[in-house]
Amino acid sequence: QQQVKQSPQSLIVQKGGISIINCAYENTAFDYFPWYQQFPGKGPALLIAIRPDVSEKKEGRFTISFNKSAKQFSLHIMDSQPGDSATYFCAASGFGNEKLTFGTGTRLTIIP
């Protein structure tokens, strides 16, 4: 019940395209859902986060879509650029379970 399942494991998108990464959770006590971007040898960087009171949040080229009934959330990267090539992790936490539970990661490659 503590798992966060992430897919796909790897993703190749052409420059200018839309990158979509999906996550699903089981613990209904989760109420905070961040996405992190990680480059090799670096710590994860917080990209964008959402709470269940909204179904979508957009910041620049990054959008989180959240489906509470399906217990799923996704990251959309619009106009994907080569600099977006990195590993992306979804995560979740909640009151009484305040640690971040991470997904397994998606290696995104943007090709010219």
Q: Say if residues 66 and 25 touch (Cβ distance below 8 Å).
A: no
Among the listed residues 21, 44, 50, 108, the single contact to another protein using CB under 8 A: 44
Report which DSSP code applies to 75: E
33, 34, 75, 110: which one contacts another protein (CB under 8 A)?
34
SS3 content of the chain, % helix, strand, coil (to 5): 5, 60, 35
The yes or no reply on residue 99 touching another protein (CB under 8 A) is: yes
Should residue 52 be labelled a site residue for another protein when binding is judged by CB under 8 A? no
Binding mask 79-98 for another protein (x = CB under 8 A): ----------x-x-xxx--x
Kindly state whether residue 50 participates in binding another protein, applying the rule CB under 8 A: no
The Cα 75–Cα 18 span in angstroms is 10
102 binds another protein (CB under 8 A): yes
Note if the bond before 8 is cis, omega within 30 degrees.
yes
